[in-house]
Amino acid sequence: MALVLRYVDKLGLVKERFISLVHVKDTTNLSLKHAIVEVFARNNLSLTKVRGQGYDGASNMSVYLGITNNLSQSLQRKDQDIVNAMDMVKATKQELQAYRLNEFDSLLKEVTYFCEENEIEVVDMDDQYVDPKYRRKKTGITNRHYYEFENFKMVLDMQIQELGNRYKVTTELLMCMGSLSPDGNFSAFNEDKMLRLAEMYPNDFSYEQRESLKHELCI
């Protein structure tokens, strides 16, 4: 597996650097993730600062059990309907949120199995977490709390927020514009979305025009 890092330098220029070539015994999620974590650790890089990933030919490279991969593949289709794509963004955020709330135990089970199969010491989730930088200082939290809330859920929160920030305005705009689609004899027409579209452009629609539009739509 080849790893290439894409980043923005201090001048705002996008750059790519090949950082490692790693041998992996298979292309399962856990094996690939374990290899990536090791490379990041060797290069003093933090996964918490990663804002996305790209891959070629390995659909299970997606860290979140195929959720973001489906969205990524769909958005790359040249024949993808824009409004449908925005629906998929919304659905993906909902799936990530559900994964965040309900799937830590299943992930923990997979990781534990991987560790046992590879003779890696398994951390007791009930033990007190020890900060490797301050080993003598008590943290007051368990290993489970650290890995579930300060890693698992924090990374998913960042992913959900990133999707929200990147597509928030675009999604709403396209969904509103979608109500003007003539397909199916204007079956997608929606009065609320028409009103919202007018509100998004206050400089193009005066207060009187918006009130008139409300009146006409209500009729």
User: What band does 24 get if pLDDT is binned at 50, 70 and 90?
Assistant: confident
- Four-point Cα dihedral 92, 104, 112, 3, nearest 10: 40
User: What band does 10 get if pLDDT is binned at 50, 70 and 90?
Assistant: confident
Least confident of 40-44, 144-148, 183-187, 202-206: 202-206
DSSP 8-state secondary structure symbol assigned to residue 128: B
91 HSE (CA, 13 A, CB side): 12
Q: Closest Cα to residue 7, out of 40, 49, 38, 57? A: 49
Q: At what angle do helices 153-178 and 191-199 cross, to 10 degrees?
A: 100
- Tell me: pLDDT of 182 over 80: no
Alpha helices in 103-206 (DSSP H): 104-117, 143-147, 153-178, 183-186, 191-199
pTM exceeding the 0.75 threshold for the entire prediction:
no
Per the DSSP assignment, residues forming a β-bridge with 128 are: 142
pLDDT of 101 reads 92
- Tell me: pLDDT of 216 over 70: no
pLDDT of 57 reads 46
CB 17 within 8 A of CB 47: no
User: What band does 114 get if pLDDT is binned at 50, 70 and 90?
Assistant: confident
CB 50 within 8 A of CB 33: no
- Tell me: pLDDT of 72 over 50: yes
Give φ, ψ of 130 to 5 degrees.
-115, 120
- pLDDT averaged over the chain? 75
pLDDT of 213 reads 66
Residue found under tokens 């025009």: 209
- Tell me: pLDDT of 194 over 80: no
pLDDT of 126 reads 95
Dmax over Cα atoms in the chain, in whole Å? 72
pLDDT of 61 reads 43
